[in-house]
Amino acid sequence: MSFLFTVSPDFTPDHLSGWYIFNTWLQKQTGVPIHLEMYNDFNTQREAIAQNKISLIYANPYDAAMLVREKGFLPLVKPVGESDEAIIAVGAGNPVDDVAELTPGVKVAFTDDPDVKMMGMIMLEPGDLNAQNVQSLSCDTYVQVAKHLLRGDADVGIFLAEAFDDLSEMVKKQLTILVRSQISVIHHSLMIGPGLLDQREKFQQYLIGMAGDEKGLGVLESLGFKAWEKVDDEEMEFMIDLMDTLSV
């Protein structure tokens, strides 16, 4: 029997193969049979979690509360120096240069990435904007969010900062950043769940030591990470509490 591992569907497409390489490395190190299942969207992934199919997950911070409190998951590690930040941007031709100048009724483009959308909506609050008084334009990718802004189909875009920074220079020149979040403490985490909890310490040791090993370092590079660092239970609880305050 193999355990099911999944990755938050907001992973960068360039790193898809990296997750498969990582899974192979993890199996080899731990001796535990693990199957990687990549879901296309958050809803399908959450259904699999609800059915107790998942034992290991690289989780979006938005799902962390549910994973810990309802499904008994515990944190393992997070990538060093990585945090989830959001950007509010408009088309470069838009005369607005402050969120406070935006008015109710504006069309906001975003993806279904839950923590980024939440941070983005918080950054729109100073303009008295909320989910009830904006027009929503849901997109599959951040490139689509940018396209809607360039075409004038949307007034405002909510981006994962990393995805915005990865847009081509030509596209970025045609966009203006109104706000970039500097929250620092919201991050994805690799989490271990029922079925594997008794091996938590062993997994943590292999993962933390990964950057000190030549092969491990190569695998980390394929994920776009420098190293993993331990996340203890209280740090995860703190982030869950923080997300809780932001969800209202």
Partner 1 sequence: MSSQPFSTERNSGGLKKFDPRRPNFYRLLYLDVKNPMMHRVIVKRKTWLGDNMINDMKPEDVVGEFREVTLNLFGGMQRKVLYTEIETPYPDGKLIVSTTDPSGVITHVNQSFVEMSGYTEAELIGASHSILRHPDMPPAAFKDLWDTVKRGEKWQGFVKNLRKDGGYYWVKATVIPNIRKGVVVGYTSVRRKPSRTKVEECRRLYPSLF
**List of residues contacting partner 1 (CB under 8 A):** 99-100, 122-123, 125-128, 178-185, 234, 237-238, 241-242, 244-246, 248
Distance CA 19, CA 30 (A): 16
Q: Which is nearer to partner 1, 125 or 153 (CB)?
A: 125
Shortest Å distance, C-beta 89 to partner 1: 12
Q: Which is nearer to partner 1, 41 or 244 (CB)?
A: 244
Q: Which is nearer to partner 1, 180 or 200 (CB)?
A: 180
Q: Which is nearer to partner 1, 56 or 231 (CB)?
A: 231
Q: Alpha carbon of 197 to those of 34, 204, 217: distances in Å?
A: 14, 11, 25
Shortest Å distance, C-beta 73 to partner 1: 16
Shortest Å distance, C-beta 214 to partner 1: 33
Distance CA 73, CA 46 (A): 14
Shortest Å distance, C-beta 183 to partner 1: 5
Instruction: Please say whether the beta carbons of 77 and 187 come within 8 A.
Output: no
Intra-chain end-to-end CA distance of the chain, in Å: 41
Shortest Å distance, C-beta 67 to partner 1: 17
Q: What is the dihedral of CA 189, 16, 222, 184, to 10 degrees?
A: -30
* Size of the chain in residues: 248
Helix-helix angle 214-223:16-30, to 10 degrees: 150
Q: What is the dihedral of CA 22, 26, 28, 29, to 10 degrees?
A: 130
Q: Which is nearer to partner 1, 38 or 246 (CB)?
A: 246
